[in-house]
Structures are given as structure tokens and as C-alpha cells.
């Protein structure tokens, strides 16, 4: 007479299908196998997913830049390739430990934000991130274009935009408003190409380095002004404050000086 089967796996499989232990055990094994398969697939596919995200981000950036008046021709002339840099806004240099892939996680930490005092908070944001992702177009070793994301508190809510500066870090190449909630027909005109087309060629500072950029109350009358928007004074003022703040010492100012010194 054969003795009892000492193989636990065969003993388990020999249990009746109605057995609760067998049902729970099979469910556990199936879950474990699926978990291992999913984890393995995630590890194997991660490089492909990262590459795809990078390609999508590059395409999104280039599509956005091509929407800025005058940018499409410049991109074509320089090969159309932008490089991405995460800045430490405090120093103006490239961040040592934060990358485009880890930027979102870094900014989820309240410790990576700097509170702004009321007197210097031209943009009305209350605080600004310690890190920002910018995009650089190069001609040889020189930066020919810098694309700087910026934001401001507008009349009806936050306004987000990308300002393009030419290689001298003083001449505006273009402006693209990427998000706003301003009043239709008035402040919402900031997204109109006809208004944004007034920005290219506008200078930010005078020969002494003093900030002079302004949105005029009517038509621009100096090289440092762009036309105002009739009936939308508060929105126009918000755009002026946005540019002044982000190109100042609490924004991209240290980075602009670094580019001028040839450190990028």
C-alpha cells in the first residue's frame, strides 16, 4: 500500500476544487505571478517610457515655441533643437541634484519654495519655486535664445507664459501666453498673436542695466515698451509686473548674468 505523498505541491493540487484552502491558494499564486510579470514589464519598459516622455516633451516644447511670433524661422535656422536645463534660481546655475525628470517631485516639497516679501513680490505669487526648467537654443557654443517660463497673478487668476530672450539676454524675441482666465474681449487679448507680435525687438534694460520694460497705457513710444490693451489696464499691468519680476534678482536675473558671463 502506497504511503502518503510527501510532496506539498501535489498534496495541494489533490485537494478538492471546492476546498477553501485551494481556492485561496490558487488566487494568491495567480496574484503573485501577475505582480511579478507587471513588475518585470515595468522595469523592462521604463527606458522606453522615459525616452517616449522625453520625445513628447521635446515635441510639445518645439510646438509651443513655433507658436511664438518669429520663433519658427529661428528654430529652423538653428536646426530646431532645444536643450533643457533645470535652474537653481538662487544661484542662477544648473541645479546639481534636480533634473527634468525629478523636478515635479522636488517642487512638491514645500522646502523647495521661497516666500516673497510683499515689497518685492511684483508678480503677486506669494512664493516662487527654487528650481525652474528653461529651454536654450544654441548656435555653436553660444546661447542664441532662452525660453523662460513665468507666471503672474492677473485680473481674474494666474497667467502663465513663456518669454523668449535673444542671446544678449536683453532683447525680447517673443512671448507666448500658455494659460489665463482673463476677461474675454478685454484682458483675454493677451493671447492674440496680433498683440504678442509687438514684443519681438523690445529691450528690457537700458545701457546702465536699469529695468525699463513696460506695457504702455496706449501705444508704445520707447524701445522698452509694448502697446497696452485698451480697457484691460489691470491685465496689461500684470504682464508688465510679470516680466519685471521674473527678469529681476528674485527670478531669472542670476541666470541672465551667468549667460552674459559665458557660463552656459
Give pLDDT tens digits along the chain (264 positions): 555 556 776 776 677 777 777 777 777 888 888 888 877 776 776 667 666 665 665 666 666 566 655 556 656 665 556 788 999 999 999 999 999 889 999 999 999 999 999 888 999 999 999 999 998 888 777 888 899 999 999 888 888 889 989 989 999 988 888 888 878 878 788 888 888 888 999 999 999 999 999 998 888 889 999 988 888 888 889 999 999 999 999 999 999 999 988 888
Nearest-CA neighbor of 220 among 235, 245, 203?
A: 203
Same domain, 92 and 2: no
Same domain, yes or no, for 24 and 90? no
How many Cβ atoms sit within 10 Å of the Cβ of residue 124?
A: 16
Residue 81: which H helix or E strand, with range?
A: none
What is the predicted pLDDT for the residue at 81? 64
CB 187 within 8 A of CB 170: no
Q: What is the pLDDT of residue 86?
A: 94
The answer on 244 and 138 residing in a single domain is yes
pLDDT for 189: 81
Specify the pLDDT at position 35. 81
On whether both 31 and 131 belong to a single domain, the answer is: no
Same domain, 196 and 133: yes
Q: How far is CA 201 from CA 135, 195, 224, in A?
A: 20, 14, 9
Predicted model pTM: 0.72
Say yes or no: 84 and 143 in one domain: yes
Rg of the chain (C-alpha set): 27
Query: Are 43 and 79 in the same domain?
Result: no
Could you tell me if 141 and 221 lie in one domain?
A: yes
pLDDT for residue 60 = 61
Domain C-terminal end among 45, 64, 83: 64
Other Cβ atoms within 10 Å of 221 Cβ, number? 10
Shared domain check, 36 and 127? no
The length of the chain is: 264
Same domain, 216 and 178: yes
Q: Which domain holds residue 80?
A: 67-260
State the total domains in the chain: 2
In degrees, rounded to 5, the angle at the alpha carbon of residue 78 between the alpha carbons of residues 75 and 82 is: 65
Domain boundary among 64, 81, 101: 64
150 and 223 part of one domain: yes
119 and 19 in a common domain? no
Strands (E), the chain: 83-88, 93-94, 113-115, 127-129, 131-139, 142-153, 158-166, 172-179, 214-215, 225-226
Domain boundary pick from 64, 87, 111 = 64
Contact yes or no for 102/112 (Cβ under 8 A): no
pLDDT at site 242: 94
Amino acid at each position: 500500500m502506497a504511503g502518503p505523498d510527501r510532496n506539498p505541491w501535489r498534496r495541494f493540487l489533490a485537494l478538492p476544487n471546492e476546498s477553501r484552502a485551494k481556492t485561496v491558494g490558487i488566487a494568491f499564486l495567480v496574484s503573485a505571478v501577475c505582480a511579478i510579470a507587471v513588475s518585470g514589464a515595468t522595469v523592462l519598459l521604463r527606458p522606453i517610457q522615459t525616452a517616449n516622455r522625453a520625445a513628447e516633451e521635446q515635441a510639445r516644447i518645439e510646438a509651443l515655441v513655433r507658436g511664438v511670433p518669429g520663433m519658427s524661422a529661428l528654430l529652423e535656422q538653428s536646426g530646431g533643437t532645444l536643450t533643457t536645463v533645470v535652474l537653481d534660481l538662487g544661484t542662477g546655475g544648473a541645479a546639481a541634484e534636480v533634473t527634468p525628470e525629478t523636478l515635479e517631485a522636488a517642487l512638491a516639497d514645500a522646502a523647495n519654495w521661497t516666500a516673497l516679501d510683499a515689497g518685492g513680490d511684483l508678480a503677486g505669487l506669494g512664493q516662487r519655486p527654487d528650481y525652474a526648467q528653461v529651454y536654450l537654443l544654441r548656435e555653436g557654443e553660444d546661447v542664441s535664445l532662452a525660453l523662460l517660463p513665468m507666471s503672474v497673478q492677473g485680473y481674474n487668476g494666474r497667467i502663465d507664459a513663456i518669454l523668449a530672450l535673444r542671446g544678449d539676454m536683453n532683447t525680447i524675441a517673443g512671448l507666448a501666453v500658455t494659460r489665463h482666465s482673463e476677461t474675454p474681449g478685454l484682458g483675454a487679448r493677451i493671447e492674440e498673436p496680433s498683440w504678442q507680435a509687438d514684443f519681438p525687438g523690445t529691450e528690457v534694460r537700458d545701457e546702465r542695466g536699469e529695468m525699463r520694460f513696460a506695457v504702455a497705457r496706449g501705444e508704445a513710444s520707447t524701445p522698452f515698451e509694448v502697446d497696452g490693451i485698451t480697457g484691460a489696464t489691470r491685465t496689461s499691468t500684470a504682464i508688465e509686473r510679470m516680466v519685471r519680476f521674473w527678469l529681476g534678482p528674485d527670478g531669472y536675473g542670476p541666470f541672465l548674468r551667468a549667460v552674459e558671463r559665458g557660463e552656459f
